Amino acid sequence: MSLWLDMLGTEIRFLKTKSFGRIRIAEAGKPGAETILFQHGINGHLEAYAKNLIALSKDFHVVAFDYVGHGLSDKLELEYTPHLLAEQLAELMDALGLESAHLSGESLGGWVSALFAVKYPHRVKRLMLNTAGGLPVVSEKGKADLKNLIALNERNVNNIPTEQSVRARLEWLMHENNRRLVNDELIGLRLDIYLRPETRVVAPIINRIINRHDEFLIPVEQIKNQTLFLWTVDNPIHDLETAKASSDRVAGSQLYVMKGDSAHWPQYEVPEEFNAVTTEFFKTGRVTSA
């Protein structure tokens, strides 16, 4: 199915923030319902949640958005760090009129969500860390995966991005059984974003986040919100042992391991399972099969 059919029924618009310019959002759901804010990974965009927004809008007010410097949001020449993006999240919540919300972040999005929860615990209802970054990389395979990601990103930053380089970056996200999801539409969307002159200016600055990974590690013991680590057996860089070790350091947290084939993008690779787990956790604070 097309991304645009997946997202049919969402409202795509731009919100003005105080310090970060215009931010693109996709929004759906009933006014007054509890809000979930979905956050994508580095060099990503809100379409990472194309297969989740409409399904979850039956029970929640849902918003996915492009970080500043990403997607179609404004491209500002800033010193990009996960802490800076946490401040963008705060301003976006202000622009949406939200005092608090549920947070679900994938990769960089989970990293930012956790740092936000540590700094602004009163603004977070429940926290889902979906294959999150910002945790200590403990295995040799994880360290090799990190080097591979840096190399893949540099192919799209230090050179002119191509269909082949974007395909390689997207396939890195997916379980080997899900490579069919890396289709012409998804590649074309990301390639269009990467080739824009304004993206080419900020992308090298953003990529420094990966090289400086250990400078911004999440102080997981300081997370006080109800937290779910949603992980996969085949997640690159931050493997399952990393997730288990971090979950053990967050009081009362749960760890859910996806049953369907998935790697770094479970919300896109196995959306039915992801949506069911997300609904249960954000409604009840528990996942019965965790």
What pLDDT score was predicted for residue 153? 75
SS3 state at 114 = helix
Share of the chain above pLDDT 70, in %: 99
pLDDT at residue 150 greater than cutoff 80: no
Assigned token pair, 47 = 């379409």
**What tokens does 106 get?**
């994938």
Give the residue with greater pLDDT, 212 vs 153.
212
Q: Could you tell me the CA-to-CA distances from 59 to 33, 53, 129, 249, 276 in Å, in that order?
A: 7, 10, 20, 31, 11
Residue 2 is given by DSSP the state -
Residue 201 has pLDDT above 90, yes or no: yes
So where are the chain's domains? 3-284
Q: How far apart are the first and last CA of the chain?
A: 30
**pLDDT one-digit tens code per residue, 72-96:** 999 999 999 999 999 999 999 999 9
- pLDDT bin (cut points 50, 70, 90) of residue 290 is low
Greater pLDDT, 40 or 143: 40
Q: Which CATH class is domain 3-284?
A: alpha beta
- pLDDT top residue among 53 and 210: 53
Mean of per-residue pLDDT scores for the chain: 94
pLDDT digits (tens, 9 = 90+) for 111-146: 999 999 999 999 999 999 999 999 988 778 888 887
pLDDT surpassing 90 at residue 250: yes
The amino acid at 60: F
- pTM for the whole structure: 0.96
Query: pLDDT-derived band of residue 251, with 50, 70 and 90 as boundaries?
Result: very high
Split at pLDDT 50, 70, 90, the class of 267 is very high
Q: What percent of the chain has pLDDT over 90?
A: 84
Give the residue-averaged pLDDT of 190-197.
96
